[in-house]
Amino acid sequence: MTKPTCVYFIGSGPGDPELITLKGKRLLEEADVVVYAGSLVKEKTLKHCRRGIEIHNSASMTLDEIMKVIVNAAKRGEKVVRLHSGDPTIYSALKEQTGILEEESIPYKIVPGISSALASAAALKEELTMPEISQTVIFTRIEGKTPVPKSERLSELSKHQATMCIFLSIRLIEKVVAELKEGYPEDTPAAVVYKATWDDEKIIRGSLKDIVRKVKEAKIKRQAMIIVGKTLSSDITHHASRLYARNFEHGYRNKKG
């Protein structure tokens, strides 16, 4: 009996094919079977695959169909890659897939990828954390078809006034902003990044006062990250990190004054 091979869940990054990790690229080059999230993963990423291998676009597949392909291939002893967008540990339905593999006694590993939240911050050329401004970043989403615990609703999280990256919520931008205003001042900077790192990437900047209007004018309704917080402001006084201060001593450097 053939021993099942290890299944690899790989984060392909936010869109740019060059942002997949070196390990992810190598595993794609070695794969016999690839199941990729076709609605979110650029097909250019598949250029790393060998010709003639078995490739499935999961966009129109159910969980049962996806896992049947993965389980059968692994049991045949083939090398399987399940290719997710962004990072597979954030909003990716990872657990329901790995749970089935565990039931089937099939080993698996997870290869991290660059989240769209980080790609969006890079597109904005902003730092999500700044000394004395915000040292906390919240990854969240608004309640839609997927319920959100009451304590994690935007209206509650906004009371921390930390930097917030809001996934999967652009269609409900009006509701998003209404809830955020329960904790953040109306003039809090806000930005929307549509398809970060893709060729048709768009960036919209504003505040909680006008971001809804700007998003509607740009006709953005999907695949966008909402980021809100004081670190996005161009008016704040920048407080330098202690790490490189002359009078800060650590294991690699003595004080210099």
Q: In the predicted model, what is the mean pLDDT of the chain?
A: 93
What's the chain's length in residues?
257
User: Where is pLDDT greater, at 150 or 250?
Assistant: 150
In order of 33, 42, 46, 153, 197, the CA distances from 27 in angstroms are: 11, 17, 11, 38, 23
Closest CA to 51 of 74, 66, 69, 34: 34
Fold adopted by 7-111: Cobalt-precorrin-4 Transmethylase; domain 1 (3.40.1010)
- The tokens for 70 are 């993965």
Q: What is the mean pLDDT of residues 62-88?
A: 97
133 and 239 Cβ atoms separated by less than 8 Å: yes
Q: What is the mean pLDDT of residues 116-134?
A: 96
Q: How far apart are the first and last CA of the chain?
A: 69
- Report how far residue 141's alpha carbon sits from residue 125's, in angstroms, rounded to the nearest whole number: 23
3-state secondary structure 3-61: CCCCEEEEECECCCHHHCCHHHHHHHHHCCEEEECCCCCCHHHHHHCCCCCEEEEHHHC
> In CATH, which of 3.30.950.10, 3.10.20.30, 3.20.20.70, 3.40.50.300 is domain 116-232?
3.30.950.10
Q: Parse the chain into domains and list their residue ranges.
A: 7-111, 116-232
pLDDT recorded at residue 161: 96
Closest CA to 35 of 21, 20, 45, 23: 45
Quote the pTM value.
0.89
